[in-house]
Structure 1
């Protein structure tokens, strides 16, 4: 297996620059996820690693090799796309082995590699079926198997679960995580779904506007976001981000109520944003907020509420805690669970 290194990688379309000097190291055997909103450059960056997009500047290395100007077939990568792209007239086995057949590999070798891949992906009972006789999840496993038989140094996944329903997405997440454990290959995975990123990744790369906002382990990004964008993007439901300002004795967050949160305010910043995870907010006695809606999901509930003219809040409660719309509640916070950001720069204040 090989790692991937991007050094000051740039992508331009004419005068428009869409990738801005990306620096990144993916270690051998690591599962790295590119995540970010639509248009942030994550798929473009993946296609540059694959060789499907030309690199305008910078260097891409796979292992010790500089592959920046190599054709895709010379890079030692295999890519799994959002669309399955299976040949409808071929069986599962033929689809999985087609690339090896076109490259002139012996039939015995093809059968051996297809059998190994089908065993890993639990496809042994489907090898003689055509794609039309498979479910969406089974078709995606065939597409992954087609990549496995090539024996690549690096696997690249471009939103491979986007076409699946919610139940199959969960099932395939488990399958892909198991696949990574079993074969131990380097994998780079693109998604806009931060839940997928949190559950699959060893390392997450958060992208915005063609730039890397933060890189780290999933829980590190969740617990220690560097800026407002990462704080609001990582976590489901999203962090409550509320205007605030320093005052005598602490921080005042108008959306929470008149009380001052006791803490040591930053002395050099006057316009702040205070961040609170939904589970960090507590419901108490009082009537400072009006409930707009409760999402009761069984083991957990999400209560949406607001004060007049202030940003809405989402509060997470355990169990079947239901507050009816129109109910008045008060909201309390633990100062130790508050994140503070500079409103002007977006940077985290620690």
Structure 2
């Protein structure tokens, strides 16, 4: 078994603590994605698991073994970086087998493992090429193949698709997801792109400021966020947020000129709450005081950006090809059961 357990993990750089007592279980064979904004600690946490950063406190177990202070080479992990780090004078075959060659593995074993990795990654026609003759996506597959031949317990990916263009990113997402299905290994993947997280992960770990905000399956985080940060970070376009006020056990939403009842436990009358609405749950209506600021027409779907009279900005997903143009005055309706509510001060979800 090759699960990963983190217990009260802390990382300090001098007197500055950047990872604050993280606890996390990653099961054998899971595809776990660390996601969050720049500076949230996701790459630092991955490097601690890899043994490339010293752990200031807590314990890291891989496959049931305490590897907190073990050398990187002794942890049974293989890491794929954002940069391909291929040797330019070596062929694809030589690059993929170099690590095993340096550790004294027999040539026949190296050849067998390289051939198997090339089969999995569909690199057989490229084995005798050098990196300069490869595309960006092909180079990244070679870097992944170099990790595969080591037969690690855990694969670690640190934003491996950041250097690729949009089309290649989509292609490589599918490649990595297929690789995970085929070899069934535990994989931990770091990205700031929540679309990558949603499309690839079995489990998403949302990080902010060195803390875990929420852990769960992609659709669980999308449909049932614990706080405003997770609600706004997961989903593209992100959730809309409007100011609301509790009045008579209902929530008044001045921006939409609506008052709605809700079964959630609301604070006292006069309290401010934040109302969250996904773009797909809003509908454009004729007449109203919302101003159309921009229309993103993408073919089968359009995203209509509007501003309320009070200056709040909303995005409405439109699949009906509603005829609106810049400057139009429109209204917006929604199903109250789809609204989420957050405490305006703590930003925690009201349930």
Give the corresponding residue for 2:67: 67
Change in 2 beyond 3 A, CA 1:91/1:338: same
Describe the shift of the 1:280–1:137 C-alpha distance in structure 2 as closer, same or farther (beyond 3 A). same
Q: Which residue of 1 aligns with 2:338?
A: 337
CA distance in 1, matches of 2:54, 2:236: 35
Hey, what does 1:145 align to over in structure 2?
145
CA shift at 1:321, angstroms? Answer: 3.7
- Pairwise mapping of residues 207-222 of structure 1 onto structure 2 (< 5 A)? 207-222=207-222
Contact 1:250 1:265 (8 Å CA) reproduced: no
Moved more, 319-328 or 129-138: 319-328
Q: CA RMSD in A?
A: 1.1
Moved more, 59-68 or 241-250: 241-250
Normalised by the size of structure 2, how large is the TM-score? 0.98
The Cα of 1:309 is off from its aligned counterpart by 2.8
Matched, 1:268 2:259: no
CA contact (8 A) 1:301 1:322 kept: no
Paired residues for 1:255-334 under 5 Å: 255-256=255-256, 258-264=257-263, 266-269=265-268, 270-318=271-319, 320-334=321-335
The 3-state SS of whatever aligns with 1:340 is strand
CA distance in 2 between counterparts of 1:349 and 1:44 reads 32
Unpaired runs of 5+ in structure 1?
Answer: none
- For the structure 1 residues 265 and 216, does the alpha-carbon distance in structure 2 shift closer, same or farther, using more than 3 Å as the test? closer
**Is 1:28 aligned with 2:28?**
yes
State the secondary structure of the residue aligned to 1:53.
coil
Question: How many residue pairs get matched?
Answer: 349
| TM-score scaled by length of structure 1 | 0.98
Q: Distance in 2 between matches of 1:284 and 1:272?
A: 25
CA distance in 1, matches of 2:300, 2:191: 27
Q: Which residue of 2 aligns with 1:102?
A: 102
Q: Once the 2 structures are TM-superposed, how far is the Cα of residue 285 of structure 1 from its aligned partner? A: 2.8
Q: Which runs of 5+ in 2 are unaligned?
A: none
Query: 1:264 offset after TM fit, Å?
Result: 4.7
Aligned to 2:191: 191
After the TM superposition, which residues 118-267 of structure 1 pair with which residues of structure 2 at under 5 Å, given as runs?
118-248=118-248, 250-256=250-256, 258-264=257-263, 266-267=265-266
SS of alignment partner, residue 299 of structure 1:
coil
Deviation at 1:159, TM superposition (A): 0.1
Cα offset for 1:288? Answer: 1.8
1:322 shift after superposition: 4.6
**Runs (4+) of structure 1 moved beyond 4 Å?**
none
CA contact 1:254–1:310 (8 Å) conserved in 2: no
SS of structure 2 residue aligned to 1:24: strand
1:77 corresponds to 2:107: no
- 1:286 to partner: Cα distance: 1.6
Residues 236-271 of structure 1: per-residue CA shift (max 9 Å, x gap) = 000001111111362111222x22123356442511
Q: Distance in 2 between matches of 1:299 and 1:267?
A: 38
CA separation of 1:160/1:105 partners in 2, compared to 1, >3 Å: closer, same or farther? same
